[in-house]
Amino acid sequence: MHKILKIAVIAIGVLGVILWLMLLGSTDPYADFMFYISYILLFISVGFVLIYSVKNLLSSPEKLKKALIYIVGFAVVVVLGYAFSGNEPVKGASESATKWVSAGLIVFYILTAIAAGSMILSGIKKMLTK
């Protein structure tokens, strides 16, 4: 049952995105109606994914603990990115928007460094265990 729902959610999500992309440049008078349908399909698929993800997390305390550790770690990285972001004004953008874009770039760099370090450590571990 879970596999069938997973496939249905993926199909509905892909259908919603395809309809939305097809309608972006449309001048058809029914385009607004189709936008609403694609949004509804997309929200339904996201809702199912969230419901089953939370259900899966709550079924195992180990998975929940791991997920909470990752969420807190990500929040720490976002706070660090925001703290280290600059306040240089950019023409045509507010100070807040500039700070958040800068924070987003710093978060990206931090997460990239973490991923690269993890891959390097994993490779070293595999070489040493063989």
Q: Where are the domains of the chain?
A: 1-59, 60-130
What pLDDT, on a 0 to 100 scale, did the predictor assign at position 88? Answer: 81
- Residue 84 carries which side chain, given as an amino acid letter? F
pLDDT, tens digit (0-9, with 9 covering 90-100), for 11-67: 988 887 887 787 777 777 777 777 788 788 889 889 988 998 899 889 988 999 999
> Phi and psi (nearest 5°) for 108?
-60, -45
CA 19/CA 33 separation, integer angstroms? 11
Phi-psi region of 92 (alpha: psi -120 to 50; beta: other; left: phi over 0): left
What confidence tier does 82 reach under pLDDT thresholds 50, 70, 90? very high
- What is residue 30's predicted lDDT score, i.e. its pLDDT? 77
| Percent of residues, the chain, with pLDDT higher than 90 | 43
Q: Which residues contact 77 (CB under 8 A, 6 or more apart)?
A: 107, 110, 111, 114
Question: Could you tell me the two tokens for 109?
Answer: 């760099």
